[in-house]
């Protein structure tokens, strides 16, 4: 068992690394060298990264790739993807090219409303609480003016606050359920600051409300926090064309392909086991762009998967149909994103990613991210219903296998040539590599 340590956070970065290496590794010196290899040679840039989180020892790199040729609402984009999984960028690029020749992607913002809640316990008369809330509701707005002033200048702010009675689910449990517009900011800090002021106003005003008994005045605020479930902050992405226009190299019979594609989506709509993997493919594209643009992919994931369960069973986020000879593939998805604040103005690569996208507004970024997810899903379903998913994926994975076994440049050339005409599997690559090395 590794020994525990007191005051670790107060150690210097060098001291932290030395302690970790000595405590957890037999080859301590080699571990220290590896950790330091990933430091940035620019000291000021490294300091910036060190201050993003706590107890930083080094940087953990992900590849940043790009998928060009995306046409969205008639505008061309090169989309950045920060992701470690092979074939994601290639699949997105292929889908971009495919639909670029068929009119491109269309994206529409349906709504941009975000939510925050003050969760509290009130043990008393419900009608009194309703009367109290109605009387003090204007104070929730007036007492947050210092927080909302700048957001209101940008066209955002608090949209509404309602009192929710949740006592049927939990004894004496109520909510202040607030909706917000945060414009180009993701808005987490703004929303949470407003909520904490709401909680203070709620408690303070209860103390002077004459109709409350002494017990009723003692409202207990449990917590005040934004929600990452944003079912009213939704974007729609779609593609469509005549079924006959789907024809290409691997789609000789476009009608058959379209029908099979729609069936594959329908299976994901009704079968949760398939839906999870289906939606994971969508998130391959979404998470990669969200991460590249400095947004919170964990919040997006949580909200998206809750949305996929909104009808009582986990289901496909995307949908497809054939109607009057037209194939349509679409998705509506909740995305709370920002293009100002947080890492967007700090992380150098995030700034490059956003500039590459043309410095989009939050709404435009929502559209771009949704399209990346739909493109990824289309590419996966096209492979699944034609050549199979593994053919392309394993060819992309080939480089990872060769790196794992430290193949030389000459060995790489031989292996790549061999598997141009042979099926790539991990064991087949290892066996062929061993044969070369004999």
Catalytic machinery residues: 85, 280, 296, 393
**pLDDT for 390:** 54
Residue 394, pLDDT score: 61
Report how many domains make up the chain.
Answer: 4
308 within 8 A of 315, measured Cβ to Cβ: yes
Q: Based on the domain organization, do 255 and 300 belong to the same domain? A: yes
Is it the case that residue 147 has pLDDT exceeding 90? yes
Indicate whether 2 belongs to any domain. Answer: no
Interaxial angle between packed helices 272-292 and 297-307, expressed in degrees from 0 to 180 and rounded to the nearest 10: 150
Verify that 296 and 337 share a domain, yes or no: yes
- Chain-centroid distance of CA 327 in Å reads 28
Check whether residue 154 and residue 183 sit in a common domain. yes
Decide if pLDDT at 172 tops 70.
yes
One domain, residues 400 and 264: no
- Split at pLDDT 50, 70, 90, the class of 410 is confident
Which residues, including other chains, have CB under 8 Å from residue 359's CB and lie 6 or more apart?
339
Residues 318, 420, single domain; the answer is no
Confidence of residue 402 (pLDDT cuts 50, 70, 90): confident
Element housing 207 (H / E) = helix 188-207
Check whether residue 379 and residue 251 sit in a common domain: yes
Neighbours of 315 (CB within 10 A): 20
Domain identity same for 383 and 305:
yes
| Chain segment 189-222, per-residue pLDDT in tens | 999 999 999 999 999 999 999 999 999 999 999 9
**pLDDT of res. 392:** 54
Assess if residue 421 is contained within a domain.
yes
Query: In 10 A of CB 184, how many CB atoms?
Result: 20
Summarised one tens digit per residue, pLDDT across range 48-78 is 999 999 999 999 999 999 999 999 999 999 9
Q: Is the pLDDT of residue 393 over 60?
A: no
For 352-366, what is the mean pLDDT? 97
Whether residues 255 and 326 fall in one domain: yes
Contact predicate 370/350, CB 8 Å: no
| Percent of the residues in the chain that have a pLDDT greater than 70, as a whole number | 97
Q: Are residues 33 and 132 in the same domain?
A: no
pLDDT, position 329: 98
How much is the pLDDT for 413?
Answer: 83
Q: Measured on CA atoms in the order 70, 328, 258, 264, is the torsion positive or negative? A: positive
Is residue 206 domain-shared with residue 183, that is, in the same domain?
yes
Q: What is the DSSP string of 98-121?
A: HHHTTT-BEEEE----EEEEEEEE
**Arithmetic mean of pLDDT, 232-253:** 95
What is the model's pLDDT at position 115? 98
Question: Cα(318)–Cα(339) distance, rounded to whole angstroms?
Answer: 26
The whole-number average pLDDT for the span 271-278 is 98
Q: What pTM did the predictor assign?
A: 0.88
Question: What per-residue confidence (pLDDT) applies to 391?
Answer: 56
Is 291 found in the same domain as 279? Answer: yes
Query: CA quadruple 121, 127, 128, 134: dihedral positive or negative?
Result: positive
Q: Is the pLDDT of residue 389 over 70?
A: no
Mean pLDDT of 316-325: 98
Per the prediction, the chain carries an average pLDDT of 94
- Distance spanning both ends of the chain, measured CA to CA: 42
- CATH code of the domain in which 365 resides: 3.90.770.10
Q: Residue 266 pLDDT > 60, yes or no? A: yes
Q: How far is CA 296 from CA 134, 287, 302, 341, 404, in A?
A: 35, 9, 10, 12, 31
Is the pLDDT score of 387 beyond 90? no
Q: Where would I find the beta strands (DSSP E) of 20-83?
A: 64-72, 75-82
For the stretch 92-118, pLDDT in tens is: 999 999 999 999 999 999 999 999 999
Residue 43 lies in a domain: yes
**pLDDT grade for 343, boundaries at 50, 70 and 90:** confident
The reported pLDDT for the residue numbered 161 is: 98
Residue 40 belongs to a domain: yes
Is the pLDDT assigned to residue 420 strictly greater than 70? yes
| Structural domain boundaries, residue 178 | 114-227
């Amino acid at each position: 068992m590794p020994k525990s340590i007191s005051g670790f956070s107060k150690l210097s970065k060098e001291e932290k690394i030395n302690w970790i290496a000595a405590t957890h590794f037999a080859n301590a010196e080699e571990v220290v060298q590896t950790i330091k290899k990933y430091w940035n040679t620019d000291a000021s840039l490294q300091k910036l990264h060190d201050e993003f989180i706590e107890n930083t020892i080094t940087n953990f790199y992900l590849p940043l790739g790009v998928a060009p040729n995306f046409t969205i609402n008639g505008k061309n984009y090169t989309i950045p993807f920060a992701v470690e999984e092979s074939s994601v960028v290639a699949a997105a690029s292929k889908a971009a090219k495919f639909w670029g020749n068929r009119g491109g992607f269309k994206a529409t913002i349906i709504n941009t409303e975000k939510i925050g809640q003050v969760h509290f316990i009130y043990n008393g008369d419900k009608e009194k609480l309703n009367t109290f809330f109605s009387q003090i509701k204007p104070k929730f707005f007036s007492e947050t003016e210092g927080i909302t002033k700048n957001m209101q200048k940008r066209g955002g702010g608090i949209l509404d606050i309602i009192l929710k009675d949740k006592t049927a689910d939990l004894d004496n449990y109520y909510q202040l359920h607030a909706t917000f517009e945060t414009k180009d900011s993701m808005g987490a800090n703004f929303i949470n600051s407003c909520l904490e002021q709401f909680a203070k106003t709620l408690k303070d005003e209860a103390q002077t409300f004459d109709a409350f008994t002494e017990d009723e005045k003692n409202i207990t605020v449990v917590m005040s926090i934004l929600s990452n479930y944003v079912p009213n902050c939704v974007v729609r992405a779609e593609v469509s064309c005549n079924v006959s226009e789907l024809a290409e190299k691997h789609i000789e019979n476009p009608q058959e392909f379209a029908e099979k594609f729609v069936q594959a989506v329908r299976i994901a709509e009704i079968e949760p086991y398939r839906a999870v993997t289906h939606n994971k493919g969508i998130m391959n594209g979404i998470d990669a762009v969200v991460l590249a643009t400095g947004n919170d992919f964990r919040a997006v994931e949580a909200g998206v998967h809750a949305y996929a369960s909104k009808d009582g069973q986990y289901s496909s986020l995307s949908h497809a149909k054939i109607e009057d000879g037209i194939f349509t593939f679409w998705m509506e998805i909740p995305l709370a994103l920002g293009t100002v604040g947080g890492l967007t103005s700090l992380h150098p690569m995030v700034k490059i990613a956003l500039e590459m996208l043309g410095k989009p507004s939050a709404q435009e970024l929502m559209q771009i991210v949704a399209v990346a997810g739909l493109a990824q899903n289309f590419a996966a379903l096209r492979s699944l219903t034609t050549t199979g998913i593994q053919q392309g994926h394993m060819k992309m994975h080939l480089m990872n296998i060769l790196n794992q076994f430290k193949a030389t440049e000459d060995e790489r050339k031989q292996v790549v040539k061999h598997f141009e005409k042979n099926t790539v599997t991990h064991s087949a690559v290892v066996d062929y590599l061993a044969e070369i090395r004999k």
